[in-house]
Every structure is written in structure tokens, then in C-alpha cells.
A and B are shown apart, each in its own frame.
Chain A
Amino acid sequence: MITAQGLYKRYGAKVAVDHLSFEVRPGMVTGFLGPNGAGKSTTMRLMLDLDNGGGETLFDGRKFGTIKHPMREIGAVLESKAFHPTRTARNHLRMLAAGSGIPFSRADEVLEFVGLSEVKNKKPKSYSLGMAQRLGLAQALLGDPQTLILDEPANGLDPHGIHWLRDVLKSLAREGRTIFVSSHLLSEMSLMADQLVVIGRGTMIYNGDVAGFVRRFTQSTVRVQSPDVDRLVQVLNRDGVEIVGPGADRSIEVSGLDAPAIGELAFQNGIMLHELATQTASLETAFMTATGESEEYRAHEILGPPAAEMPAPVTPQAGPPAAPPVPPSQPGDSTPGGAA
């Protein structure tokens, strides 16, 4: 069990981690989510006493620095290529084993486990990112610890490797171990994590189970298709109901009313429906909703042509359909800029 209380870190005027408190329970995988720059790595560094800051983290009631051989109880990997480029993987692990009172034979065992036996005596400078991640996992497992703290362990792994990692972590969790793993790969977290700690700009956004996160940060919508969609929009338009569309296929997305209520209103008003389907939001949608405002580094949209040159959005209205936009003139056109 990991108990983090009031973790705090600032760099000058910028607060990187703002009084974060959470628990990571044994027997399950706890995902640590947040956009780039949210403070995930800094939080993990604070937990492991690598950074000086406020708050405290207890591992089964003890501070990291007071544990005699921490590697035997907490396996942690925060950087994927934290090894000397010419010291072999085997020697890298043996060095750490020597510092933790772990027998050298354990280095070979974990290298075999992560599939690096064949390259254990090679210089890791030639390792791919995926191989480096496997070496990192071997390092974390070296002391057969009860707790694992892994920062983005799936980065650089191929799909097979990701599948393998997921199975390994879930299997370790089933053995009653405490697994705390950060990722920005939301699809990974949805398959791997049982619990989530979600942060943005160093502050807690959510701490709980995955389903609860989706429930809290998304609103289910109902997709409705009807030949008389405009009249349906008028019927559904009331307080608390949000309607998006109709789109090109004349369908609308309705939130604030569930499917039975929409079906009933349509029936009462004699409107035929072709489709009535509840849309469940994904973890990714929930994540975007939850962290949208707390993104630290946000790219700008690709610049398009000036607004004057853009065609005006087409708003469906009652009456005859609007004329199609006039295509720009093309070389060889006999009627420049005009409709054929």
C-alpha cells in the first residue's frame, strides 16, 4: 500500500505538483494519467525521494529513505535508458543487486523473464527503446518487490510487447502486489488499470475506478435518425437538453434525455425514427474532457487559408436546399469561376 500525502513541488514560481494526496492499493493496477507536463514524473520522483519537495509518501507505513534495502520492497523505473552504454545489462543489474544484498543469480533470472537473455552480455547502447524498457522492468523486478512504480513502461514497446507487459502487470497485481504505473496511452490504461489517479497541472482531477472516471467526465448521448429531423429537434428542444446536428446524414446527437424518453416523445408527436442508439463515451473522451483545460503544452491548429476564402458553414434550414458552393476555377475550365 502506498499512501501519498500532500505532495508538493515548485520550480521557481511554477507549481509542478500541488498538494497531491492519494492511495495506491495492493492487488490491483493503479494507472497514473495526465497530459504531458502534468507532473506525473515529478510526483513519482517525490514519492521516491529523488526530488526535494513537500508532503510525504509511505510504503506500508514507512518512508522510502528509511527502508534498508528499498529495491527488495519497491521496484521503480522512471527513465527508460538509465544505464551506462558500455556496461552490459547483466552487469548493470549485478551492480544494483550488490547494492541491495540481492544474489547475482537473480540478474539472470529477471533478464530471462523479460526476454533479454540472449543480449545480456551486450552493451546496451545498441538496445532499442523497447529493449531498454524491458531492461527497466527487469531492474524493477530485481528485488522481487511487493510494490512497483513504473513511469511510462509501455513507451517504445511493440504491440506484442505491450500485450506482454499488460499481462505481466496484471499477473503481478493478482499476486497481491501494489502496481502504480503512469501512462499517456489511454487505451492501455483502459485495458490494464483497475484504479486511476488523474492529474492535470499538478492537481488532482480524479482518483477512483476506471468506470467511475468515464461516468463522471462524460455525458452519454443518444444518436437519433429520422426523416423528419427538423420537427424532432423542435419537439426535443427544452431546458437541459443539448442537441448537436443534424449532420450530413440527418442524424442528431441528444444529451440530457435518455433513449426511452426520446422514443416516447417522438411517438407522441407522430415522428418516425430510423435509429435510436445510446452512445457510451470512451475513456479517451473522458480523459480529454477531464484534462482539456489543464494541458500544459498545447499545439496550435495548422493554419488554414484566411477566413474570407473559407466557404461559409452550411446551416440546414427549412425550405429549398442551399446551392452548392461554387468551385474555384481550374486550368482548362471554359467558364471561369462559374457553374457549369
Chain B
Amino acid sequence: MEKSNDAIINTDVLETVSEWSKSGMKTAIATVIDTWGSSPRPAGSQLGVNERCEMIGSVSGGCIEGAVVKAALEVMEDNKPQILEFGVSNEDAWEVGLACGGNVKVYVEALES
């Protein structure tokens, strides 16, 4: 990416996903669709992922990105959107550690090329 510095901080997630796709990579987009309690990123926050597990943007303060990338790789293969839920009442959340005590729902979809 020529604008890698910008890309790290800026919210141009879809632009980067589009560039990845143009270069022939499989890509997926994760979007926060619901939050309860204290969660680090509001609804609408997005994370782009490519087949090399490179990320752009975020859906949390870094707590659940690992699990989301794993789902993104599955979605890239079968093209079936997934809805992931993370929260203190959820065992996965303990596993990945959503330390803020919030709950978050994430929609993961592939970019169909």
C-alpha cells in the first residue's frame, strides 16, 4: 500500500479492502452491529481482513480481533456471512478476553469478487 501510514490510522477500511481485492486477494469485512455496556468501538466500526491475515481498522481495542480474523478466513472460503457475539457471559469472550466487561456483536462478510 502506498499510503500505509494513513491506512494504519485512518478509517479507509473499504478502500484498502478494495485495493487488496484488486490485487487478487480474498478479503472479508467485519462490522460491529451492536454493543451493550462499555465496549471500545461503536456500532459501524469496521475491520478489513485479507487472506494473509493482514488487518485494517478495528472492531475492538484489540481484544477480539484474533477471533474475528479466524471467522473472516472461514467466510472467505464459504461466502456465508457470520454473526459473532462476544461478551462476559460468553465463554468465547473469556477465551479471547473482552476485559472491558462490554458485549459486542460483529457481522462478518466476504467481499465477492
A and B are interacting partners: no
Using a CB–CB distance below 8 Å, which chain A residues touch chain B?
none
Using a CB–CB distance below 8 Å, which chain B residues touch chain A?
none
